[in-house]
A = this chain, B = another copy of it.
Amino acid sequence: MEQLSQFFKQITNHNNREPKNLYNPIDYVLSQDGKHLRPQMVYISTQLFNGPTEAALYPAAAFELLHNFTLIHDDIMDQAPQRRGEPSVYKKWNTNIAILSGDAMATFALQTMLQTPTTADIKLELSHLISKTSIEICEGQQYDLDFENQKNVSISEYLKMIRLKTAVMIAGCLKAGAILSQTSPKNQQIAYDIGINIGIAFQLKDDLLDIYGDNTVFGKINGGDIKENKKTYPLLRAIEDATPEQKLKLSNYLSLPDSKFEEKFMLIKKLYEELEIKKKCENLILEYGNQALNLLNTLDDINPKGKEVLQDWITRLRDRDK
């Protein structure tokens, strides 16, 4: 991912770009140590379909820019003071600067896609893909915000939300590699669907790690979602499966104040145990992960080495503990 860092430096340091209050936050975010999951997905997909891996740098960078734009704006909306162990942009600078540098970054994402060294038609296809993805992510984030004030959220509503907020970007990355490689429309669609399944599994795993993650590995404090009564899969599953008596208990636990967080976390975990939430969640993750692996087997004319790499990725994402 060294190439990616070089590429980002070009964007923000080009001609000593000013104003600094716009470009420094972009630089700050792009030089943080992220997982670079999305660029890797673009590369892996391009390799899988025997495409031009050098040109893949552009869609890879574009999706990483888009991802980071969403993080900057989400942190304002969620009032999240930290990101990757450092102050978030709105905390380090201020809300206005975070809004604007996010706006600029979203545009750089698109501009980068337009610059992909390929044919005009493919550039257009890639640009359509990233703009569609960007709109769907806004929809997903809005649903997520709406859920905070919505009394009842069904599991299917929740899955729709994480599909939009998280999965379509992973799907877009895999499809971008497929488009760039000029593979068949059938393969492109399958690549997209693999991404949807990976993305949903990925978010469900995040939900689970919030409760059961090894916090020395995961790098976060456990129970953050529970503290905020966030409507994650485990909570919604528990609400759906609980007996009337358990429901009443759960409702009482959820209304415990922040000062009793440790007690709240412990009580809810105990209830989750009774309801086998961990197992149910793991089974669903396995289902999505297996669906991704099955889809991978339906692709035609692919690079066997690439297939192995993606298989390995899916397995590791599914089984990760951070």
Contact = CB atoms under 8 A, between A and B. Distances in A.
Interface string A194-210: 00000000000000000
A44 B211 CA distance: 60
Contacts of A103: 73, 102-103, 106, 134, 138
A108 interface: yes
A266 interface: no
A242 interface: no
Interface string A211-233: 00000000000000000000000
Contact of A128 (B22, B99, B111, B132): B111
A131 B104 contact: no
B107 A138 contact: yes
A243 interface: no
Nearest to A138: B104
Contacts of A143: 19
A114 B131 contact: yes
A31 interface: no
A146 B100 contact: no
A145 interface: yes
A85 B100 CA distance: 25
Nearest to A98: B99
Interface string A125-163: 001100110110011011101100000000000000000
B114 A124 contact: yes
Contact of A104 (B107, B111, B128, B135): B135
A272 to B, nearest CB: 29
Contacts of A99: 73, 76-77, 99
A248 interface: no
A114 B127 contact: yes
Contacts of A322: none
Nearest to A11: B135
Interface in A85-134: 95-97, 99-104, 106-108, 110-111, 114, 120-121, 123-124, 127-128, 131-132, 134
A114 B104 CA distance: 19
A110 B138 contact: no
User: Closest 7 interchain pairs by CB?
Assistant: A120-B120, A104-B138, A22-B142, A111-B131, A77-B96, A107-B134, A19-B142
Interface of A: 18-19, 21-22, 73, 76-77, 95-97, 99-104, 106-108, 110-111, 114, 120-121, 123-124, 127-128, 131-132, 134-135, 138-139, 141-143, 145-146
